[in-house]
C-alpha cells in the first residue's frame, strides 16, 4: 500500500520536483505511473524507497510512515519492496543464480531457504536455462528477468519498476509487462513507471499521469491521456 497526501518535494538545488501529489495504491493493484521526462516519476519512486524524504506532506508505504521512519527501520521497509530499474543493476561477477541468491543471503537467509526459494523464482520468470550464466551473456530482456527475480525473491508486498523496458525492444518490453502482470495476479502489488504509450494502452489498468510535478489524471480506463505535443518530448 502506498499513500501520498499533499506531497511536495524541493531538491537541495531548489528544483521543485513535486507540487502537491495525492494518490493511494491499495494492496493487489497494478498501476502505471506515466508522464514526460522530468515530470517527477522517479522522485515519487525514491520517496517510496526511502532514498529521499518529502519536503512537505505525508508518505505512507506498507505501514511505514516515511515522515517518521527511523534510519534503522529503512532496511525493513526495503524488504517489503522489490525495486527494478531500467539498467538492471546486476552484479557482473556473479551468475544468474548467485545474483538472485545474493538478495536473500544479505538479509540473513539460510542456504536451505535459498536452495528452496531461488529455483522457484527462476522458474517463475522463465530463466531455467540460464542459471549458471553471467549477466553479460544474456540478452537485455533476460537480464531484466533476472532483476525481476531478484526483486521478487524476498516475497515483497510491492514491486516498483522505474522504466523497466527503457532499454528493450517492443517485443521484449511486452514480455516484461506480461510478466509483471502475472506477478500481480499472484498477489503482489505492482507499480510501473514508463512513458511508452502503446505499451500502457495494451493493458486495461489504472494509469496515474504526471506532468510538471502534478497529477493531471488518475483513472482506471487504461488510457495514456495527455497531449501530442507533450508526447513528442519523449523522443
Partner 1 sequence: MTEWTDITVMVMRKLNYFIKEGVGSIFTHRFMSFASVFIIVACLLIMGSFSLLALNVDRIIDTLEDENQIMVFIDENFTETAARSLEGTISAIPNVTSVEFVSREMALDSFKDLYEDSSLLEDLDADVLRDRYIVYLDDISQMAETQYELAKVDGVVKVNAHLEISEGFIKVRNIVSAVSLLLVAVLLVISLFIMSNTIKLTTFDRREEIAIMKMVGATSSFIRWPFVVQGLILGLLGALLAFLAQWGLYQLVSSNIVSGTGLSFISVIPFEKVSIYILASFLAIGLGVGIFGSIMAIKNYLKV
Ligand X SMILES: Nc1ncnc2c1ncn2[C@@H]1O[C@H](COP(=O)(O)OP(=O)(O)O)[C@@H](O)[C@H]1O
Binding residues for partner 1 (CB under 8 A): 49-52, 71-72, 74-79, 81, 83, 89, 91, 102-103, 105-108, 110-111, 150, 154
Binds 60, which of ligand X, Mg ion, partner 1, none (CB < 5 to 8 A, cut-off by type)?
none
| Closest distance of CB 130 from partner 1, Å | 19
Quick check: 15 binds ligand X (CB under 6 A)?
Answer: yes
Comparison of 21 and 121: residue with beta carbon closer to Mg ion: 21
Comparison of 93 and 228: residue with beta carbon closer to partner 1: 93
Quick check: 39 binds ligand X (CB under 6 A)?
Answer: yes
Comparison of 40 and 121: residue with beta carbon closer to Mg ion: 40
Binds 40, which of ligand X, Mg ion, partner 1, none (CB < 5 to 8 A, cut-off by type)?
ligand X
| Three-state secondary structure string covering the chain | CEEEEEEEEECCCCCEEEEEEEEEECCCCEEEEECCCCCCHHHHHHHHHCCCCCCEEEEEECCEECCCCCHHHHHHHHHCEEEEECCCCCCCCCCHHHHHHHHHHCCCCCHHHHHHHHHHHHHHHCCCCCCCCCHHHCCHHHHHHHHHHHHHCCCCCEEEEECCCCCCCHHHHHHHHHHHHHHHHCCCEEEEEECCHHHHHCCCCEEEEEECCEEEEEECCCCCCCCHHHHHHHC
Using CB under 6 A as the binding rule, the residues of this chain from 65 to 104 that contact ligand X are none
Amino acid at each position: 500500500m502506498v499513500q501520498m497526501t499533499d506531497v511536495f518535494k524541493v531538491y537541495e538545488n531548489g528544483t521543485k520536483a513535486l507540487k502537491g501529489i495525492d494518490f493511494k495504491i491499495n494492496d493487489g493493484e497494478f498501476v502505471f505511473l506515466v508522464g514526460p521526462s522530468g515530470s517527477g516519476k522517479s522522485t515519487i519512486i525514491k520517496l517510496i524507497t526511502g532514498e529521499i524524504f518529502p519536503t512537505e506532506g505525508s508518505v505512507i508505504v506498507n505501514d511505514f510512515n516515511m515522515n517518521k521512519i527511523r534510519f534503522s527501520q529503512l532496511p525493513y521497509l526495503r524488504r517489503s519492496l522489490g525495486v527494478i530499474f531500467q539498467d538492471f543493476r546486476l552484479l557482473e561477477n556473479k551468475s544468474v543464480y548467485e545474483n538472485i541468491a545474493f538478495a536473500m543471503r544479505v538479509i540473513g537467509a539460510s542456504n536451505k531457504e535459498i536452495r528452496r526459494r531461488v529455483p522457484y523464482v527462476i522458474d517463475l520468470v522463465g530463466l531455467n536455462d540460464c542459471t549458471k550464466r553471467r549477466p553479460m551473456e544474456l540478452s537485455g530482456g533476460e537480464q531484466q528477468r533476472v532483476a525481476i527475480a531478484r526483486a521478487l525473491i524476498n516475497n515483497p508486498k510491492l514491486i516498483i519498476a522505474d522504466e523497466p523496458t527503457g532499454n528493450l525492444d517492443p517485443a521484449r518490453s511486452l514480455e516484461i509487462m506480461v510478466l509483471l502482470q502475472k506477478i500481480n495476479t499472484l498477489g503482489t502489488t505492482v507499480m510501473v513507471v514508463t512513458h511508452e504509450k502503446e505499451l500502457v494502452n495494451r493493458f486495461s489498468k489504472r494509469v496515474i499521469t504526471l506532468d510538471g510535478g502534478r497529477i493531471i489524471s488518475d483513472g482506471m480506463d487504461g488510457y495514456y491521456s495527455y497531449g501530442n505535443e507533450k508526447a513528442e518530448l519523449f523522443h
